[in-house]
């Protein structure tokens, strides 16, 4: 049976990166059909292989982050290893890298060198501060990007220090921008007859680009958005509330008609009919009063009662899900967001499904993250290396 077509079938990607931002961007491309060859050091490979929870010595995160990729071990400090990379890049459409700026240039693998042999190459470069500017050479991880880009400053409660989100969101946002940028560069090359180009993604800029109206509000009004906990000033009501049985739910009733439905569900027709609360500005002016009333209503009922009442009233609401909640939720199951894969020892394991959903050419997961160097010999053979040459490279420590 033929595999269904995928939108990136025929696109070849060389991944020169580790950990989160670069590999996540390449993972997105791999999920939609790109052939992704991940270059790893023979000495242990990507550190993500050993991050967080390990199963039989390998990170479960690795199995997810490297799905659909081929692992090729190359020693970038050996001339023979560098030659392997150059030959791979000469046939590639995209290179993804997240080294500190200047590192690849020192290895002879910078943009100028690689694009000379492959003028159509798209090079996605992810780094803390981008390829230019006074901070370009400084190290920068996702946490630094979140801090400099403004996200950390507005996250948390006003009487406490800023807090992080529970995941490496800065890296993930940068990866999404990177994948989008690489595909736009491919589109330009294919449709407009353009050459290849560099896609330069700075982690702090990736986060900064998500910060809504932060900049114009400061520029026009001198307004500095501060931490406000679970509410969003200027958008009311939208908050987290605690039920009688101690569960936390989020209610988003900031639309005018939705607020009226919420008020009626609460048994408060007076609020539903109050002209002063008919629009968002009026509700926000009485924010504290409304939140106190909603808090009291939610606190008087169990979670199931509150959610049932809000569902009947067509008011957007949800419990705040743990992963255990996700495993039991029919929406996740119906949308195939929990897919079963098989670990190397034969154990079944569920992993997130692919996003977004394409109706005609959907993405998918063909295999989980490979063993270190699993595809080295096959990839070298495809480049034209014979068995003797491969053995010589391995003996010399080049691969």
Residue 171 catalytic? Answer: yes
Indicate the pairing of strand 317-319 with strand 248-252.
Answer: antiparallel
Cβ atoms of residues 301 and 249 within 8 Å? no
Given 93, 171, 200, 284, the catalytic residue: 171
Location of structure tokens 């595809």: 375
The burial class, CB within 10 Å (0-12 / 13-18 / 19+), for 17 is buried
Q: What is the 3-state secondary structure (H, E, C) of the chain?
A: CCCCCCCCCCCEEEEECCCCHHHHHHHHHHHCCCEEEEEECCCCCCHHHHCCCEECCEEHHHHHHCCCEEEEECCCCCHHHHHHHHHHHHCCCEEEECCCCCHHHHCCCCHHHHHHHCCCCEEEEEECCCCCCCCCCCCCCHHHHHHHCCCHHHCCCCCCCCCCCCCCHHHHHHHHHHHHHHHHHHHHHHHHCCCCEEEEEEHHHHHHCCCCCHHHHHHHHCCCCCCCCCCECCECCEEEEECCCCCEEEEECCCHHHHHHHHHHCCCHHHHCCHHHCCHHHHHHCHHHHHHHHHHHHHCCCHHHHHHHHHHCCCCEEECCCHHHHHHCHHHHHCCCEEEEECCCCCEEEEECCCCCCCCCCCCCCCCCCCCCCCHHHHHHHHCCCHHHHHHHHHCCCC
HSE, side-chain direction, 13 A CA sphere, residue 307: 16
Cβ atoms of residues 111 and 198 within 8 Å? yes
141 token code pair: 């991880």
d(CA 99, CA 140): 10
Cβ atoms of residues 34 and 13 within 8 Å? yes
Catalytic residues: 171
């Amino acid at each position: 049976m033929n595999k269904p077509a995928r939108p990136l079938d025929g696109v070849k990607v060389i991944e020169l990166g580790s950990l989160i931002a670069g590999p996540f961007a390449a993972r997105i491309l791999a999920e939609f059909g790109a052939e992704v060859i991940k270059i790893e050091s023979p000495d242990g490979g990507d550190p993500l292989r050993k991050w967080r929870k390990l199963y039989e010595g390998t990170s479960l995160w690795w199995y997810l982050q490297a799905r659909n990729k081929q692992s090729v071990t190359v020693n970038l400090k050996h001339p023979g290893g560098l030659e392997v990379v150059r030959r791979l890049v000469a046939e590639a459409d995209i290179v993804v890298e997240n080294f500190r700026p200047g590192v690849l240039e020192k290895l002879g693998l910078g943009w100028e060198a690689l694009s000379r042999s492959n003028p159509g190459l798209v090079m996605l470069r992810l780094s803390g501060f981008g390829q230019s500017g006074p901070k370009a050479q400084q190290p920068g991880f996702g946490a630094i990007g979140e801090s400099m880009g403004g996200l950390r400053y507005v996250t948390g409660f006003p009487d406490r220090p800023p807090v992080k989100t529970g995941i490496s969101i800065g890296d993930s946002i940068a990866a999404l921008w990177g994948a989008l940028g690489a595909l736009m560069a491919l589109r330009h090359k294919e449709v407009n007859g353009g050459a290849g180009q560099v896609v330069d993604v700075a982690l702090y800029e990736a986060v900064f680009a998500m910060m809504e109206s932060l900049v114009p509000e400061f520029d026009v009004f001198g307004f500095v958005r501060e931490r406000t906990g679970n509410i969003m000033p200027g958008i009311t009501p939208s908050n987290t509330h605690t039920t009688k049985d101690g569960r936390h739910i989020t209610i988003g009733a900031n639309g005018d008609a939705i607020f009226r439905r919420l008020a009626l569900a609460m048994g408060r027709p007076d609020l539903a009919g109050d002209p002063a609360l008919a629009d968002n500005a009026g509700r926000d002016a009485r924010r504290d009063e409304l939140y106190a009333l909603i808090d009291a209503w939610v606190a008087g009922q169990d979670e199931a009662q509150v959610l049932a009442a809000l569902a009947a009233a067509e008011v957007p609401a949800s419990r705040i899900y743990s992963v255990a909640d996700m495993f039991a939720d029919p929406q996740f199951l119906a949308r195939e967001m929990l897919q079963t894969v098989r670990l190397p020892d034969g154990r079944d394991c569920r992993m997130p499904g692919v996003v977004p959903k394409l109706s005609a050419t959907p993405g998918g997961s063909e295999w989980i993250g490979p063993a270190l160097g699993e595809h080295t010999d096959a990839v070298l053979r495809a480049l034209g290396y014979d068995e003797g040459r491969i053995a010589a490279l391995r003996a010399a420590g080049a691969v």
